[in-house]
Amino acid sequence: MITLTPAATQEVKRLIEKEQKPNLGLRVGVKGGGCSGLSYVLSVDEAAPKQYDTVFEQDGVKLLIDAKSQLYLDGTTIDYKSTLMGGGFEFSNPLAKKSCGCGTSFTV
């Protein structure tokens, strides 16, 4: 299970509203690459699940996670931080053994 903080939930809802499509959700996943081996992937996507997706709703946001990514993301909390230089999503992953300095890739 993945948890969105209130700040992340608010930002995802803002991004979905901006797209002006009623059936969007947040696809969360991992892909090979990055300086630590695996990189986090987020996208606003049609909320229709693909085969082997896990789909759940949290505070009005549909989250979609493929089965492979679920193995690496279970227990992860996603937060959103806004700064003067912009903003971004931050991942707190209890399964990560180490992560890169920028926080976008990790090793399990």
3-30 pLDDT, tens digit each:
999 999 999 999 999 998 878 999 999 9
DSSP bridge partners of 36: none
| Torsion sign (Cα): 18, 21, 80, 87 | negative
CATH architecture for the domain at 3-107: Sandwich (2.60)
pTM of this structure:
0.84
Q: Do 40 and 104 contact (CB within 8 A), yes or no?
A: yes
Q: Are strands 77-83 and 3-4 parallel, antiparallel or unpaired?
A: parallel
Q: By three-state DSSP, how is residue 36 classified?
A: coil
The amino acid at residue 43 is: S
pLDDT (tens digit per residue) in 35-85: 657 888 999 988 788 899 999 999 999 999 999 999 989 999 999 998 777
**HSE-up of residue 82 (Cα within 13 Å, Cβ side):** 5
